[in-house]
Amino acid sequence: MKKFHFMLADDDSDDRMFFEKAIKSLDLPTKVSFAEDGVELIDFLTENIDDLPDVVFLDLNMPRKKGDECLREIKRTPKMQNMPVIMYSTSQHEDVADVLYESGANYYVRKPDYYLLI
């Protein structure tokens, strides 16, 4: 059975840890890949262009290359443009979500307050 490949681009190590725990709790075979910033994400996707993740979760605010820049680059690249991208951030501003949807995001999700889980 094929593993469902999730990719998370997030510079926060705690967010990456909680994401991995959540994915591993799913009742299906999964693979999780990580990028710590936007440059690392685009490099990973480019190097794996023929074996892209099934879905990318993309933090909006990252160093070196922001999430919205990555989203636009992904959606301009023919082999990547149909890959689902879920943007997520601590921001709740509707205008930010609207711009991301216009840029091709499939969903926009607010990051949970992980500190409440500790």
Q: What is the pLDDT of residue 93?
A: 67
pTM of the predicted model as reported, rounded to 2 decimal places: 0.87
Domain count, the chain: 1
The CATH code of the domain that includes 83 is 3.40.50.2300
List the strands of the sheet with 55-59, edge to edge.
Answer: 30-35, 4-9, 55-59, 85-89, 107-110
Q: Taking a C-beta distance cutoff of 8 angstroms, is the pair 80, 56 a contact? A: no
- At 76 the pLDDT is 95
pLDDT in tens, 70-110: 999 999 999 999 999 998 877 666 777 778 878 888 988 87
What pLDDT score was predicted for residue 115? 45
Residue 56's domain comprises 4-117
